[in-house]
Structures are given as structure tokens and as C-alpha cells.
Amino acid sequence: MKRSTVNTIMAEADEMIRRHGFTLPPFAYWTPQEFKSRVDDGSARRIADARMGWDITDYGQGRYDELGLFLFTLRNGQLADLERGRGMVYAEKLLISREKQLTPMHTHVIKSEDIINRGGATLVVELFGSDADGNFDSGAGGTVHCDGLSRPFEPGEKLRLAPGESVTLSPGEWHAFWGEGGSVLIGEVSTVNDDVTDNLFREPIGRFAEIEEDTDPTHLLVSDYDTWFGASA
């Protein structure tokens, strides 16, 4: 994915987020140089270590319009707090899924999450259950909760969430999603998020995009942090 394309996606996403009444935090608009200076002096080390910020992925496949997702991590706790059962045990993201832009079938090792349609078109979520070991099972259904209500699903059933509706997903509940009828602004509220180790995809696939540096970055991606100033585990 070209850096110029990433910059354009960031600008378009910011406009859509604002159109739906949300505003990103101040650190979203730091230049790369400002971000680095704040990490170097220690004031923004927490943001870098938690991998908060811009995240645009084509899953390493180079087909963003078909297979991709925009994300911005607004806040993120620490796994140590989650393991202790106290402290900042939560995370929050905003996502944008374009029409027919697939986020591929996956589940999580630890993370439970609410996926919320915050506005725009319909969000389609395809669901499968797991076998006894938590592996993808094409013949397994299950039960999720939609806005607190129990919702049984058949294997491969597609939930259609209108703006304001949500689904709660736990580890072992396999899911893929995309926009239907246009782009969807999605909220994600979850336990602590680790996109490096916690995603299990049904098919072998990358989590982050490979960036071709055809221009300077407007803002850094979370996948840039290690290159620019390092990020601790």
C-alpha cells in the first residue's frame, strides 16, 4: 500500500468520523516529528507502548478496497492489568468498513468485544462457532448477545446491524464483517487489545500493511512506531 494512499484514507476517515459527531483526540493530529519528540521526552511513551492511534490495513494482500479496514485505537489498557483483574482492563476503537470491504474470518485469543454500528450503512457480521479446541468449525453455530439480548446463530449466519445496534463477541466466536449499502462507522469496546498476538485468522494472512514510501506520512500508523522510535511489549 502506498503511503500517499494511506494519507488519503486518513483524511477521508477523519471527515467521516466528524460527520457522525465524533472527534479524534489531539494526538491523532500530531506530525511524525512532533510525535517522536514527545516520545523521546517521555510524555507520549504510553501512547506508543499501547499502540494507540492510526491503523490502516490491507492484511498484506494489496487489495484494500476488497480486503481491508480502517481503525483508530482511542485508548488501550495493559495485559498485566487484565491478568490482575483491575486497572485499565479495556480498550476502545473507531473503525470504518467500506461497502463490500471484507474484514476476514477471525477470532481472538483473549479479547472480548462489542462491535457497534455507530452510523452510516448496514454492518454485516458473518458468524461461525468453534470446535472443542476453539478452532474454526464450519458446522458450528452458537449464541451471541445483541444489545444484551440472546441471539442464537446458525453456522455462517449473517447478522445485519443497523446504526445503533451491536453484537458482543467472545474468544472462539469466529466472525467476518463488511459494509452493506455504503461505508459504516463502527465502534469497538473491548478488553485490552493486542493486534500483534491476539488475532487468529482462519486463513494465513498478515495483520498489517506493507507500506511503499512514495511520500512523507501525514501521521504515523501504529505499525510505524517500531521504526520511528521503538515500542515496548
Mean pLDDT per 10-residue section of the chain, whose length is 233 residues: 97 98 98 97 95 96 96 96 94 98 97 98 98 96 98 98 98 98 98 92 89 97 92 47
Helix (H) or strand (E) holding 61: none
Residue with cell 471527515: 15
pLDDT at 224: 96
The answer to whether the CB of 72 falls within 8 A of the CB of 55 is: yes
CA dist 147 → 52, 158, 161, 163, 178 (Å): 26, 16, 11, 12, 19
Q: 96-121: string of b/e by CB count within 10 Å (b at 16+)?
A: bbbeebbbbbbbbeebebbbbbbbbb
Phi-psi category of residue 60: left, alpha or beta, with phi > 0 → left and psi -120 to 50 → alpha = left
Total Cβ atoms within 10 A of residue 208: 18
pLDDT at 196: 87
Which CATH number describes the domain made up of 3-228? 2.60.120.10
